[in-house]
Amino acid sequence: MTQEVVSVAKASALATGPSRKTPGQGRWLAGVFLAPAAVFLTAIVFYPLVYTLIRSLFNDGPSGQATSFAGLSNYAHIFTQSDAVEALKNNVIWVVIVPALVTILGMIFAVLTEKIRWASAFKVVLFMPMAISFLASGVTWTLIYADQPSRGLGNAVAIGIHDTFDPQTSYPELHPSGNTVLTGSGAAGYKSVATFAAGSPALLPLTGLNLVKPPKAAEPAVEPSSGAGLRGVLWNDFKLGGGGTPGVIDQGELGVPGLQVDAVKNGKTVATATTQANGTFTFPSLTSGGYTLSLPKADFSPAYGGIAWLGKNLITPAIIVAYLWIYAGFAMVLLAAGMSAIPRDALEAARMDGATEWQVFRRVTAPLLAPVLLVVFVTMVINVLKIFDIVFIIQQSAGGNAKYANVLAVQLYTDYGNQQFGAASAVGIVLVILVLPAMVFQVRNFRKESR
């Protein structure tokens, strides 16, 4: 916006330069034409900028009023306070990665859509995200990244793929009640503390079965019948309404069906059994004693919960993907326009001379497209430095992990919200300083083109 105003103002200044009027009159006229723009620029750009600069040098009172002169301490804060440092770090990640990726993706799309039929249809589809507000895109991607596979597309796919190769375990919720009979963890499996011998029943209590909706196959647990071999029962030592005695099979307690039980002696698994509907299991072949019973982890390890898209490590990449989805189409449209302006004869000449398509792209298309590529890249740098909305929206559903996605513009907003106007102003000024080189470059580029 500002750039346009500046360039328009410059253009009008240039236009009045070589006029036939006397120099004095021309300057006067230029002044008249420039006045409205100058007034607006002063009121809405220069004054706020200067005031922000001044405000950033003052401390904040409790309700936001400027108090004492702070020197550069508000600026020092940005490089010491952990949230602001996180913001700086993420801004660097954004600037280093995103403009390049957007330009490359846009280029790929532009080249590919030129080669296919229905090119316009593809372009429309790819450009469509630009027509959606950042807020709406942010909300959409928030849904994609939701943890529950029933809500989040990302995890529905991740869990679907995972479960195809490694099915969910049957009883992740079961765990021993106390450590007297069984010890261990769901991730490592459980092991009996004591050893068991044939002839005396092994009672293995677990708890945690969902009693409101118990497994259909489960039947009330019973003491193992007497007979040959090592016999035992694996049951859920809790009944609806509570009140049973721990370690004793009370009426109403259910057996846990279908669990694997290993008999281990001297570190070696000597026999394997599976529990019945009433929880009983039998090792008919075992006749002596000294067996440790172990429940392998395969039945208990916690269910795969998918990928923490908005977790500590993935949140910034996840937001970047959403941003790419929006801006790749934008870059594509600009680059496609630039490509259509490339003289066909240059391409054809290269092809006639026997250049491969890759060579044509590298030696002819890319160099001729360089000015447009540069414009896209620099626009993206400016855009990414002041990135706010999509980060802000997606952050909302990341809970405690939101801080790992912090960027400078969000930090500015937070400080402002806390009525720390000095700190917020300092962040604003730093943003301006960061954007300035790209701006200067852009303005120069425009000037070069207009000549």
Q: Which residues bind other proteins (CB under 8 A)?
A: 59-65, 77, 81-83, 147, 173, 175, 177, 207-213, 237-238, 240-243, 305, 308, 310-311, 395, 397-403, 414-420
Q: Which two tokens stand for residue 257?
A: 């069906």
Instruction: Put residue 202 in one of left, alpha, beta given phi > 0 → left and psi -120 to 50 → alpha.
Output: beta
Phi, psi of 293 (to 5 degrees): -100, 130
**CB nearer other proteins, residue 238 or residue 281:** 238
Helix/strand/coil for 136:
helix
Other beta carbons within 10 angstroms of residue 192's beta carbon come to 22
What distance in Å separates the CA atoms of residue 297 and residue 194, rounded to the nearest whole number?
Answer: 19
Q: Which residues of 304-332 are buried (b: 16+ CB within 10 A; e: fewer)?
A: bebbbbbeeebbbebbbbbbbbbbbbbbb
What distance in Å separates the CA atoms of residue 191 and residue 299, rounded to the nearest whole number?
Answer: 13
**CB nearer other proteins, residue 125 or residue 248:** 248
Q: Which two tokens stand for residue 315?
A: 């949140």
* Whether the Cβ atoms of residue 261 and residue 274 lie closer than 8 Å to each other: yes
CB of 164 to other proteins, least distance (A): 24
Strands 260-265 and 292-295: antiparallel
CB of 312 to other proteins, least distance (A): 9
* Whether the Cβ atoms of residue 56 and residue 426 lie closer than 8 Å to each other: yes
**CB nearer other proteins, residue 59 or residue 260:** 59
**CB nearer other proteins, residue 63 or residue 266:** 63
**CB nearer other proteins, residue 36 or residue 399:** 399
CB of 239 to other proteins, least distance (A): 9
**At residue 324, what is the residue type?**
L
CB of 271 to other proteins, least distance (A): 29
CB of 152 to other proteins, least distance (A): 12
CB of 236 to other proteins, least distance (A): 8
What distance in Å separates the CA atoms of residue 307 and residue 20, rounded to the nearest whole number?
Answer: 71
CB of 266 to other proteins, least distance (A): 33
CB of 276 to other proteins, least distance (A): 21
**CB nearer other proteins, residue 210 or residue 269:** 210
Helix/strand/coil for 35:
helix
**CB nearer other proteins, residue 23 or residue 62:** 62
CB of 320 to other proteins, least distance (A): 19
Q: Which two tokens stand for residue 111?
A: 């080249």
**CB nearer other proteins, residue 356 or residue 396:** 396
CA proximity to 306, closest of 163, 141, 143, 139? 163
**CB nearer other proteins, residue 137 or residue 282:** 137
